[in-house]
Amino acid sequence: MTAGPVGSAAGDTEDPPVAVRGLSKHYGAIKAVDDVELTVNTGDVYGYLGPNGAGKTTSLRMMLGLIRPTTGSVRLFGRDPMQSVHALQGVAGFVEAPTFYPYLSGRRNLELLAAFDGDGAAGRIERALDTVELSERAGDRVGGYSHGMRQRLGIAAALLRDPKLLLLDEPATGLDPGGMRDMRVLIRRLADEGITVLLSSHMLAEVEEVCNRVAIVRSGKIVYEGAIAELKRDAGTTYRLETTDDQRALAVCHAQAGISDVRTERDRIHFTGDQQAVAELSQALIEAGALIRALTPQTVTLEDLFFSFTEGDGRQQAAHEPDESTRPAVESAR
């Protein structure tokens, strides 16, 4: 389904595009979303990252005012989406896969949405189709579109509302590598045009490629929020070490200040440390008589960090996210 407001401008405001505080959604004893707090700043491409069933879609539904939180608050540009349709001015997107009338053309589907939304939306149809590179197929029935084309049509539908904030639920799911590349390029293009983007995903490489900030969620609860660059920097760089005396080198690594996560894998020593600590370790190894044969940095990936946050003894069963409503094929949050 697609979601968006009547009206097109977010208005002049100092409030962030998205501010979520203490947001929870309970279904009986199940906590689909558990005390979520996050802030999306103007210009962010913000990834809401978690495994399937972690509560991402439920969170986006609450952000768009499609379902009511059990506790907590959502503010979009300082406005509460549960209070008024005007709170959604300047906001658009889709939750789960965007759906359209398959027997109508892509352009006709957009015309219906534009008539529903008003506020000059009809005049933005051709530009939206061009932005998502569907102009040449706009006259074809949606039933003949590929999955990637339907995803891009969903973004075109959101662009009819001239949004300042775009919320996308798993936009790259089900796409082939070419489709993922096209979606990544499209999201970056929208961000370059001044649209703030919040996207949920479980696709780690895509999030790392396109997002500047991220929240990592496990079983409905955020376990990390911040800049991806800061997360990777704080995690340090992992190194692989080979020496002339690995047993002695292992003891030196364990004793060296600034060196952590020391372990052996496949007869190689692995550890984490910053550049200064590694330089001091190199000197200590020489003094200990364990000469370095190879010292190879291995850049930490978002995937490494994601699994460090979402797996282990604290890992819980993913909560099922019930669907509170049955909605028509083309719909706006109003």
The structural domains of the chain, ordered by start, are: 2-225 (3.40.50.300), 237-299 (3.30.70.100)
> For residue 2, what are the contacts with CB-CB under 8 A and spacing of at least 6?
92, 93, 94, 98, 99, 113, 154, 157, 158, 330, 331, 332
pLDDT digits (tens, 9 = 90+) for 246-300: 999 999 999 999 898 898 988 889 988 888 899 999 999 999 999 999 998 876 6
pLDDT digits (tens, 9 = 90+) for 139-158: 999 999 999 999 999 999 99
- Parallel, antiparallel, or unpaired for β 91-94 and 2-3? antiparallel
DSSP string, 131-153: HTT-GGGTTSBGGG--HHHHHHH
Q: What is the pLDDT of residue 313?
A: 42
CA distance 177 to 88: 33
Q: Where are the alpha helices (DSSP H) in 20-122?
A: 56-63, 106-117
Q: What is the pLDDT of residue 13?
A: 53
> For residue 289, what are the contacts with CB-CB under 8 A and spacing of at least 6?
244, 245, 248
Whole-number percent of the chain with pLDDT over 90: 53
The answer to whether 139 touches 146, Cβ cutoff 8 Å, is no
Tell me phi and psi for residue 227, to 5 degrees.
Answer: -75, 140
Type of residue found at 203: M
